[in-house]
Amino acid sequence: MTQVAVAGMGSWGTALALHLRQQGCQVRCWEYDPGLVARYARGERESPFLPGLRLPADLEVSGSVEEIATGADLVVLASPSHTLRVLLRRLAPCLPAGAPLVNVAKGIEQRSLLRLSQVAAAELPGREGLYACLSGPSHAEEVCRGIPTAVVAAGTDPALLAEVQGLFSSASFRVYTNSDLAGVELGGALKNVVALAAGMCDGLGFGDNTKAALMTRGLVEMARLGTALGGRPETFSGLAGIGDLIVTCASRHSRNRRVGEEIGRGRSLEQVLAGMNMVAEGVRTTEGAHELARRHDVAMPITAAVHAILFAGRDPREEVVRLMTRDLRAEGC
Protein backbone atom coordinates (compact mmCIF):
# COMPACT_ATOMS: atom_id res chain seq x y z
CA MET A 1 0.00 0.00 0.00
CA THR A 2 1.33 3.43 -0.98
CA GLN A 3 1.82 5.71 2.03
CA VAL A 4 1.01 9.32 1.15
CA ALA A 5 1.63 12.40 3.27
CA VAL A 6 -0.62 15.37 2.51
CA ALA A 7 0.96 18.58 3.84
CA GLY A 8 -1.89 21.06 4.11
CA MET A 9 -5.56 20.49 4.95
CA GLY A 10 -7.24 23.37 3.17
CA SER A 11 -10.01 22.57 0.71
CA TRP A 12 -7.74 21.14 -2.00
CA GLY A 13 -5.50 19.18 0.35
CA THR A 14 -8.55 17.71 2.06
CA ALA A 15 -10.19 16.73 -1.23
CA LEU A 16 -7.02 15.06 -2.50
CA ALA A 17 -6.46 13.26 0.81
CA LEU A 18 -9.93 11.73 0.53
CA HIS A 19 -9.41 10.93 -3.14
CA LEU A 20 -6.10 9.16 -2.55
CA ARG A 21 -7.63 7.26 0.36
CA GLN A 22 -10.31 5.99 -2.03
CA GLN A 23 -7.50 5.01 -4.39
CA GLY A 24 -6.26 2.58 -1.73
CA CYS A 25 -3.45 4.71 -0.33
CA GLN A 26 -2.64 5.01 3.35
CA VAL A 27 -2.99 8.76 3.89
CA ARG A 28 -1.64 10.88 6.73
CA CYS A 29 -2.36 14.62 6.81
CA TRP A 30 -0.73 17.67 8.36
CA GLU A 31 -2.81 20.60 9.57
CA TYR A 32 -0.96 23.75 10.62
CA ASP A 33 -3.71 25.06 12.93
CA PRO A 34 -3.38 23.41 16.37
CA GLY A 35 -6.97 24.31 17.22
CA LEU A 36 -8.26 22.45 14.19
CA VAL A 37 -6.04 19.45 14.95
CA ALA A 38 -7.52 19.36 18.44
CA ARG A 39 -11.06 19.56 17.06
CA TYR A 40 -10.43 16.63 14.75
CA ALA A 41 -8.89 14.65 17.63
CA ARG A 42 -12.07 15.22 19.70
CA GLY A 43 -14.11 13.68 16.92
CA GLU A 44 -15.41 16.96 15.50
CA ARG A 45 -14.54 16.02 11.93
CA GLU A 46 -16.46 18.61 9.89
CA SER A 47 -14.14 20.42 7.47
CA PRO A 48 -14.27 24.23 7.86
CA PHE A 49 -13.23 24.59 4.21
CA LEU A 50 -15.68 22.19 2.56
CA PRO A 51 -19.13 22.76 4.09
CA GLY A 52 -21.09 19.58 4.65
CA LEU A 53 -18.02 17.34 4.42
CA ARG A 54 -17.10 15.19 7.40
CA LEU A 55 -13.65 13.59 7.52
CA PRO A 56 -13.55 9.82 8.11
CA ALA A 57 -12.83 8.95 11.73
CA ASP A 58 -9.77 6.92 10.77
CA LEU A 59 -8.14 9.62 8.60
CA GLU A 60 -4.99 10.57 10.51
CA VAL A 61 -4.50 14.31 10.99
CA SER A 62 -1.38 15.50 12.80
CA GLY A 63 0.03 18.86 13.84
CA SER A 64 3.53 17.60 13.03
CA VAL A 65 4.59 17.75 9.40
CA GLU A 66 7.72 15.80 10.31
CA GLU A 67 5.59 12.97 11.69
CA ILE A 68 3.44 12.55 8.60
CA ALA A 69 6.42 12.76 6.21
CA THR A 70 8.49 10.08 7.96
CA GLY A 71 8.26 6.87 5.95
CA ALA A 72 6.08 8.40 3.22
CA ASP A 73 6.30 7.03 -0.31
CA LEU A 74 5.00 10.33 -1.75
CA VAL A 75 4.34 13.80 -0.33
CA VAL A 76 1.56 16.07 -1.59
CA LEU A 77 2.38 19.75 -1.02
CA ALA A 78 -0.97 21.44 -0.46
CA SER A 79 -0.04 24.61 1.41
CA PRO A 80 -0.58 28.09 -0.11
CA SER A 81 2.21 29.20 -2.43
CA HIS A 82 3.47 31.92 -0.07
CA THR A 83 4.15 29.32 2.66
CA LEU A 84 5.79 26.72 0.42
CA ARG A 85 9.40 27.68 1.14
CA VAL A 86 8.89 27.44 4.91
CA LEU A 87 7.14 24.10 4.51
CA LEU A 88 9.98 22.70 2.38
CA ARG A 89 12.52 23.75 5.01
CA ARG A 90 10.58 21.82 7.62
CA LEU A 91 10.30 18.79 5.37
CA ALA A 92 13.95 18.73 4.25
CA PRO A 93 15.40 16.83 7.26
CA CYS A 94 12.68 14.17 7.32
CA LEU A 95 11.91 13.47 3.64
CA PRO A 96 12.63 9.84 2.79
CA ALA A 97 15.23 9.39 0.06
CA GLY A 98 13.48 8.94 -3.27
CA ALA A 99 10.07 10.15 -2.07
CA PRO A 100 8.52 12.31 -4.84
CA LEU A 101 6.86 15.66 -4.16
CA VAL A 102 3.58 16.56 -5.88
CA ASN A 103 2.80 20.26 -5.50
CA VAL A 104 -0.81 21.31 -5.96
CA ALA A 105 -0.51 25.03 -5.08
CA LYS A 106 -0.62 27.64 -7.85
CA GLY A 107 1.32 30.86 -7.63
CA ILE A 108 4.53 32.84 -7.99
CA GLU A 109 6.74 33.52 -4.98
CA GLN A 110 6.46 37.25 -4.33
CA ARG A 111 9.94 38.48 -3.51
CA SER A 112 11.97 36.10 -5.66
CA LEU A 113 9.40 35.90 -8.51
CA LEU A 114 10.26 32.21 -8.80
CA ARG A 115 7.94 29.49 -9.99
CA LEU A 116 7.12 27.01 -7.25
CA SER A 117 9.29 24.25 -8.75
CA GLN A 118 12.19 26.70 -8.64
CA VAL A 119 11.50 27.35 -4.97
CA ALA A 120 11.57 23.60 -4.37
CA ALA A 121 14.83 23.24 -6.29
CA ALA A 122 16.42 25.97 -4.18
CA GLU A 123 15.35 24.39 -0.90
CA LEU A 124 15.83 20.74 -1.89
CA PRO A 125 18.73 20.68 -4.35
CA GLY A 126 19.24 17.44 -6.20
CA ARG A 127 15.57 16.41 -6.03
CA GLU A 128 14.39 18.17 -9.22
CA GLY A 129 13.57 14.83 -10.86
CA LEU A 130 11.38 13.94 -7.89
CA TYR A 131 9.09 16.96 -8.30
CA ALA A 132 5.79 17.21 -10.17
CA CYS A 133 2.93 19.66 -10.09
CA LEU A 134 -0.76 18.90 -10.49
CA SER A 135 -2.83 21.60 -12.17
CA GLY A 136 -5.97 22.17 -14.20
CA PRO A 137 -9.69 22.92 -13.74
CA SER A 138 -10.34 21.17 -10.45
CA HIS A 139 -12.37 22.78 -7.70
CA ALA A 140 -12.07 20.80 -4.47
CA GLU A 141 -15.82 21.14 -3.83
CA GLU A 142 -16.50 19.02 -6.93
CA VAL A 143 -13.60 16.58 -6.68
CA CYS A 144 -14.64 15.47 -3.19
CA ARG A 145 -18.12 14.72 -4.58
CA GLY A 146 -16.73 12.52 -7.34
CA ILE A 147 -17.72 14.88 -10.17
CA PRO A 148 -15.72 14.01 -13.34
CA THR A 149 -12.55 16.10 -13.48
CA ALA A 150 -9.46 16.19 -15.72
CA VAL A 151 -6.10 17.64 -14.68
CA VAL A 152 -2.50 17.57 -15.83
CA ALA A 153 0.65 16.40 -14.04
CA ALA A 154 3.81 18.20 -15.14
CA GLY A 155 7.46 17.54 -14.41
CA THR A 156 10.82 16.70 -15.92
CA ASP A 157 10.91 12.92 -15.31
CA PRO A 158 8.56 10.84 -17.51
CA ALA A 159 8.72 7.90 -15.10
CA LEU A 160 7.57 10.05 -12.19
CA LEU A 161 4.76 11.55 -14.25
CA ALA A 162 3.57 8.06 -15.16
CA GLU A 163 3.66 7.12 -11.46
CA VAL A 164 1.64 10.19 -10.47
CA GLN A 165 -0.79 9.60 -13.32
CA GLY A 166 -1.40 6.03 -12.21
CA LEU A 167 -1.74 6.87 -8.53
CA PHE A 168 -4.19 9.75 -8.91
CA SER A 169 -6.28 8.60 -11.88
CA SER A 170 -9.72 7.10 -11.31
CA ALA A 171 -13.04 6.81 -13.12
CA SER A 172 -13.90 10.35 -12.02
CA PHE A 173 -10.42 11.94 -11.89
CA ARG A 174 -8.42 11.74 -15.11
CA VAL A 175 -4.76 12.78 -15.16
CA TYR A 176 -2.86 13.73 -18.30
CA THR A 177 0.91 14.30 -18.34
CA ASN A 178 2.93 17.20 -19.71
CA SER A 179 6.69 17.79 -19.77
CA ASP A 180 6.25 21.59 -19.92
CA LEU A 181 6.64 22.27 -16.20
CA ALA A 182 7.17 26.01 -16.69
CA GLY A 183 4.09 26.42 -18.87
CA VAL A 184 1.82 24.38 -16.60
CA GLU A 185 2.95 26.23 -13.48
CA LEU A 186 2.57 29.64 -15.09
CA GLY A 187 -0.82 28.81 -16.57
CA GLY A 188 -2.10 27.76 -13.16
CA ALA A 189 -0.78 30.91 -11.52
CA LEU A 190 -1.63 33.55 -14.12
CA LYS A 191 -5.24 32.49 -14.69
CA ASN A 192 -6.01 33.65 -11.15
CA VAL A 193 -5.20 37.24 -12.14
CA VAL A 194 -7.67 37.06 -15.02
CA ALA A 195 -10.25 35.51 -12.67
CA LEU A 196 -9.98 38.55 -10.41
CA ALA A 197 -10.74 40.73 -13.43
CA ALA A 198 -13.65 38.47 -14.42
CA GLY A 199 -15.11 38.82 -10.96
CA MET A 200 -14.78 42.59 -11.16
CA CYS A 201 -16.80 42.50 -14.37
CA ASP A 202 -19.51 40.52 -12.57
CA GLY A 203 -19.49 42.95 -9.66
CA LEU A 204 -19.81 45.90 -12.02
CA GLY A 205 -22.85 44.29 -13.64
CA PHE A 206 -21.33 43.66 -17.06
CA GLY A 207 -22.49 40.77 -19.20
CA ASP A 208 -21.32 37.68 -21.02
CA ASN A 209 -19.84 39.69 -23.90
CA THR A 210 -17.49 41.46 -21.51
CA LYS A 211 -16.38 38.31 -19.73
CA ALA A 212 -15.79 36.41 -22.98
CA ALA A 213 -13.60 39.23 -24.31
CA LEU A 214 -11.75 39.48 -21.02
CA MET A 215 -11.04 35.74 -20.84
CA THR A 216 -9.88 35.60 -24.45
CA ARG A 217 -7.54 38.54 -24.14
CA GLY A 218 -6.47 37.33 -20.72
CA LEU A 219 -5.41 34.03 -22.24
CA VAL A 220 -3.29 35.98 -24.74
CA GLU A 221 -1.53 37.68 -21.82
CA MET A 222 -0.99 34.38 -20.00
CA ALA A 223 0.61 32.81 -23.07
CA ARG A 224 2.62 35.93 -23.81
CA LEU A 225 4.32 36.00 -20.42
CA GLY A 226 4.39 32.23 -20.12
CA THR A 227 6.33 31.73 -23.32
CA ALA A 228 8.68 34.60 -22.42
CA LEU A 229 9.51 32.64 -19.25
CA GLY A 230 10.11 29.33 -20.99
CA GLY A 231 6.68 27.76 -21.40
CA ARG A 232 5.39 26.27 -24.65
CA PRO A 233 2.54 28.09 -26.45
CA GLU A 234 0.40 24.96 -26.80
CA THR A 235 0.33 24.44 -23.03
CA PHE A 236 -1.87 27.51 -22.66
CA SER A 237 -4.46 25.89 -24.92
CA GLY A 238 -4.64 22.90 -22.58
CA LEU A 239 -6.03 22.04 -19.16
CA ALA A 240 -3.56 24.18 -17.21
CA GLY A 241 -4.24 27.16 -19.47
CA ILE A 242 -7.65 27.71 -21.01
CA GLY A 243 -9.22 24.86 -19.02
CA ASP A 244 -8.30 26.31 -15.65
CA LEU A 245 -9.03 29.82 -16.90
CA ILE A 246 -12.61 28.93 -17.85
CA VAL A 247 -13.49 27.29 -14.55
CA THR A 248 -11.81 29.94 -12.40
CA CYS A 249 -13.45 32.85 -14.20
CA ALA A 250 -16.93 31.31 -14.26
CA SER A 251 -17.39 29.08 -11.21
CA ARG A 252 -19.24 29.95 -8.03
CA HIS A 253 -16.50 28.00 -6.21
CA SER A 254 -13.73 30.33 -7.41
CA ARG A 255 -12.25 32.37 -4.57
CA ASN A 256 -10.40 34.67 -6.97
CA ARG A 257 -13.54 35.42 -8.98
CA ARG A 258 -15.39 36.10 -5.72
CA VAL A 259 -12.74 38.54 -4.52
CA GLY A 260 -12.93 40.40 -7.83
CA GLU A 261 -16.72 40.47 -7.70
CA GLU A 262 -16.74 42.07 -4.25
CA ILE A 263 -14.21 44.69 -5.35
CA GLY A 264 -16.35 45.42 -8.40
CA ARG A 265 -19.24 46.05 -6.02
CA GLY A 266 -17.21 48.71 -4.24
CA ARG A 267 -15.58 46.90 -1.31
CA SER A 268 -11.88 47.34 -0.62
CA LEU A 269 -9.38 44.51 -0.97
CA GLU A 270 -8.73 44.61 2.79
CA GLN A 271 -12.44 44.27 3.58
CA VAL A 272 -12.85 41.32 1.22
CA LEU A 273 -9.82 39.39 2.44
CA ALA A 274 -10.72 39.96 6.09
CA GLY A 275 -13.96 38.03 5.54
CA MET A 276 -12.34 34.97 3.95
CA ASN A 277 -11.05 31.80 5.64
CA MET A 278 -9.28 30.58 2.50
CA VAL A 279 -6.51 32.01 0.33
CA ALA A 280 -7.15 33.78 -2.99
CA GLU A 281 -3.80 33.14 -4.69
CA GLY A 282 -4.45 35.68 -7.45
CA VAL A 283 -3.91 38.68 -5.19
CA ARG A 284 -0.26 37.85 -4.54
CA THR A 285 0.19 36.51 -8.08
CA THR A 286 -0.94 39.88 -9.50
CA GLU A 287 2.05 41.57 -7.91
CA GLY A 288 4.47 38.94 -9.22
CA ALA A 289 2.99 38.84 -12.71
CA HIS A 290 2.99 42.63 -12.98
CA GLU A 291 6.66 42.80 -12.01
CA LEU A 292 7.67 39.92 -14.31
CA ALA A 293 5.90 41.62 -17.21
CA ARG A 294 7.82 44.81 -16.49
CA ARG A 295 11.18 43.04 -16.25
CA HIS A 296 10.65 41.08 -19.46
CA ASP A 297 8.97 43.94 -21.35
CA VAL A 298 5.79 41.93 -21.95
CA ALA A 299 2.56 43.84 -22.60
CA MET A 300 -0.12 42.72 -20.12
CA PRO A 301 -2.78 45.46 -19.98
CA ILE A 302 -5.38 43.39 -18.09
CA THR A 303 -2.84 42.42 -15.45
CA ALA A 304 -1.75 46.05 -15.19
CA ALA A 305 -5.37 47.11 -14.69
CA VAL A 306 -5.96 44.52 -11.95
CA HIS A 307 -2.73 45.62 -10.26
CA ALA A 308 -3.81 49.27 -10.38
CA ILE A 309 -7.20 48.45 -8.86
CA LEU A 310 -5.83 46.23 -6.08
CA PHE A 311 -2.75 48.20 -5.09
CA ALA A 312 -3.15 51.76 -6.36
CA GLY A 313 -6.81 52.37 -5.54
CA ARG A 314 -7.93 52.81 -9.14
CA ASP A 315 -11.64 52.60 -9.91
CA PRO A 316 -12.60 49.31 -11.65
CA ARG A 317 -15.06 50.96 -14.02
CA GLU A 318 -12.49 53.53 -15.10
CA GLU A 319 -9.96 50.77 -15.75
CA VAL A 320 -12.44 48.98 -18.01
CA VAL A 321 -12.91 52.19 -20.00
CA ARG A 322 -9.15 52.56 -20.26
CA LEU A 323 -8.81 49.02 -21.60
CA MET A 324 -11.61 49.53 -24.13
CA THR A 325 -10.13 52.78 -25.44
CA ARG A 326 -6.52 51.62 -25.89
CA ASP A 327 -5.01 52.17 -29.32
CA LEU A 328 -6.75 50.03 -31.92
CA ARG A 329 -4.71 47.12 -33.27
CA ALA A 330 -4.86 43.73 -34.97
CA GLU A 331 -6.09 40.85 -32.81
CA GLY A 332 -2.76 39.05 -32.76
CA CYS A 333 -1.03 42.01 -31.10
Q: What is the pTM of this model?
A: 0.95
At 30 the pLDDT is: 98
Strands (E), 139-234: 149-155, 173-178
Percentage of the chain modeled with pLDDT above 70: 99
Domain holding 119, by residue range, is 3-179
Residue at which a domain ends, from 157, 179, 201 = 179
pLDDT one-digit tens code per residue, 28-62: 999 999 999 999 999 999 999 999 999 999 999 99
With respect to residue 333, please indicate whether it lies within any of the assigned structural domains: no
Give mean pLDDT, residues 9-33.
97
Q: Do 208 and 146 fall within a single domain?
A: no
With respect to residue 332, please indicate whether it lies within any of the assigned structural domains: no
Whole-number average pLDDT of the chain: 95
**Residue 274: pLDDT above 90?**
no
Residue at which a domain ends, from 150, 179, 208 = 179
Q: Phi then psi for 117, rounded to 5 degrees?
A: -65, -30
At 141 the pLDDT is: 95
Burial degree of 142 (CB within 10 A; 0-12, 13-18, 19+): middle
Q: What is the CATH number of the domain that holds 243?
A: 1.10.1040.10
Q: What is the CATH number of the domain that holds 140?
A: 3.40.50.720
CA dist 293 and 287 (Å) reads 10
Question: Is 220:279 a contact under the CB 8 Å cutoff?
Answer: no
Residue 306's pLDDT band (cuts 50, 70, 90): very high
Give mean pLDDT, residues 213-229.
97
With respect to residue 280, please indicate whether it lies within any of the assigned structural domains: yes
At 203 the pLDDT is: 95
Higher confidence at residue 275 or residue 67?
67
Q: Do 165 and 30 fall within a single domain?
A: yes
At 321 the pLDDT is: 87
Is residue 191 flagged as an active site residue? yes
With respect to residue 331, please indicate whether it lies within any of the assigned structural domains: no
Q: Do 142 and 102 fall within a single domain?
A: yes
Give the active site residue among 19, 106, 191, 290.
Answer: 191
Q: Do 261 and 278 fall within a single domain?
A: yes
**Residue 258: pLDDT above 90?**
yes
With respect to residue 197, please indicate whether it lies within any of the assigned structural domains: yes
Q: Do 25 and 143 fall within a single domain?
A: yes
CA dist 241 and 219 (Å) reads 8
With respect to residue 309, please indicate whether it lies within any of the assigned structural domains: yes
Q: Do 29 and 163 fall within a single domain?
A: yes
pLDDT one-digit tens code per residue, 139-164: 999 999 999 999 999 999 999 999 99
At 276 the pLDDT is: 79
pLDDT one-digit tens code per residue, 229-256: 999 999 999 999 999 999 999 999 999 9
Give mean pLDDT, residues 182-202.
97
With respect to residue 329, please indicate whether it lies within any of the assigned structural domains: no
Q: Do 159 and 203 fall within a single domain?
A: no
Q: Do 167 and 187 fall within a single domain?
A: no
Q: Do 24 and 117 fall within a single domain?
A: yes
Q: Do 19 and 38 fall within a single domain?
A: yes
Q: Do 53 and 91 fall within a single domain?
A: yes
